[in-house]
Structure 1
């Protein structure tokens, strides 16, 4: 291996280390937002939240008469490491991790005490019964910071 190849390898390692440090810093201060699908049925709303890689205890669901908030913390999806293993070279880091929060405003009142949630295969399904039955558009995203 010539000096140029050694320099390229070391530069790649340093670049990887700097990227990992910046990702850790960014993820510790900025929340991400999981994707949702929302549906309106005759007597309830149904919201599906993409939370792959999470455990139930790490997910929080809060509801009031017109608002659904899902929050929690997803661990970084990284390969297992031991003290003897070298740091892996990061080729792509597209899966969001760290703290998250997502709020959805309901266009009509719901019954918070009747809300149910089921987490299966990385998807959180939340059933939000309507306080009254009427036809309305689907829920819209809360645009508050």
Structure 2
């Protein structure tokens, strides 16, 4: 993780001194694109990434994570990328591109995922079915 969070000096060494880092204007791999680690659960990392960040930047982060440990045993480490505006979603690169262009609403895809998951339990999903109802609405439905 040091490789992601700490910047490199011009000579290629890692700058661990925050004061030197700020004075010289060094930026880390994550700072460069305004990417923030939100949560780590075991080997899963959740990042908050601006929508405009190119997938190549995310690939560079996964490459860093997979290659940061010296490995003489020939074991290949792998790091997957999943992109979604909500936790648990997984969008294709084409869907992400369409969302960024405004041609696709992620809520529509989310609704389809919810319908698919609930149908496994025999529940037919309708938009708003989980919304809290006020007393007046409940009385109207009962009547």
TM-score interval, normalised by the smaller of the two chains? under 0.3
**Structure having the larger proportion of residues in strand:** 1
TM-score, scaled to structure 1? 0.22
Greater relative contact order (Cα < 8 A, sep 6+) = 1
